[in-house]
A = this chain, B = another copy of it.
Amino acid sequence: VRSPSDSSAHKRRAPAPAPDRGVADRLARLRATLKTRGLKHSAVRDLVVEEFLLAGTHISIEDLLARVRRRASGVGYSTVYRTLKLLVESGEAVARDFGGAQSLFEPADTRHHDHAVCVRCGAIREFEESGIEALQEKVARRLGFQVTSHRLELYGVCAECAGKRRD
């Protein structure tokens, strides 16, 4: 029984929205975490983490491994799984399941957001709507329910796939 949608994201100040911001920073932070736990730091691990951070968002183990193997062909699935698990445990990554077979991972220290998943092209767009959060709280009060995390996904057709705005 896995904890559902753990949303204990780090609350770092995250001003710029650029996807590849702070890769070095995060790598350093992770390395510190490793030291704390008496874990080692290796070339392969670095490579996996770096590729993960460069990918930016919503990548599957399989895709990540493909990227990693472009730079080091011998790397195995288990190493990627193990490294991502490490990232999740240390708060640097979050695992998400959008109904597909495999789960997708994204860096953890972004602002809270929900997801819109295109059922045609698979694109995942993030969004934020404080009104929804407020209403969730209202519902929770009505039910006497203490919300610790939530999960909201819209499924449908994105603008590109709908043929709108074809620039």
Interface string of A99-141 (1 = CB under 8 A from B): 1110000000000000011110000010101011001101110
Chain A interface category by residue count: 35 or more
Q: Contact at A147–B140, with CB atoms within 8 Å?
A: no
Known contacts A132-B135, A145-B156; 14 additional CB pairs below 8 A are A3-B119, A4-B98, A4-B117, A5-B99, A97-B97, A116-B147, A127-B143, A131-B135, A135-B135, A136-B152, A144-B164, A145-B158, A146-B162, A151-B153
| 8 A/B residue pairs, CB under 8 Å, sorted by A | A4-B119, A129-B138, A132-B132, A136-B154, A146-B157, A146-B162, A147-B154, A147-B156
